[in-house]
Amino acid sequence: MISSVIWPGQALYLAPLFCEQPTGEAVVVSDTYASGDGTSTDFTLYCVGDRGQTIDAGWLRPFLLLWGCYAAALATVVVVVAVFSRKTATPEQHSL
């Protein structure tokens, strides 16, 4: 659920990495269809040019890059919190 909520808006920031000129503008297309379990939605990143040319950039590589960025940001926060929590501890807390 989280990936489908944040994917369309943030995928546009990946355009410089996946879309080359003359198709430098990123467009995220959502395709909703009925499946056996209910309703499913797919998101695909397309690169669009000024003259209407399109290139399908897919969903897997942009999706994995996005989640890699999330993991790096989360790891950075965890490391910063761990470093600051050790620096603020008093010497009595270290001996326990």
Question: What is the rounded end-to-end Cα distance, in angstroms, of the chain?
Answer: 43
- How many domains does the structure of the chain reveal? 1
pLDDT at position 1: 43
Note the Cα 28 to chain centre separation in Å.
Answer: 13
The CA distance from 49 to 60, in Å, is 22
Q: In this structure, is residue 58 part of a structural domain?
A: yes
Q: In this structure, is residue 95 part of a structural domain?
A: no
Length of the chain: 96
The CA distance from 10 to 14, in Å, is 8
Instruction: Express each pLDDT in 52-86 by its tens digit.
Output: 899 888 888 888 888 888 899 999 999 999 988 88
Strand positions, DSSP E, 1-96: 25-35, 38-48, 54-58
Q: In this structure, is residue 34 part of a structural domain?
A: yes
Q: In this structure, is residue 96 part of a structural domain?
A: no
Q: In this structure, is residue 94 part of a structural domain?
A: no
The CA distance from 15 to 24, in Å, is 7
Instruction: Read off the pTM.
Output: 0.64
The boundaries of the domain holding residue 61 are 2-89
Q: What is the mean pLDDT of the chain?
A: 80
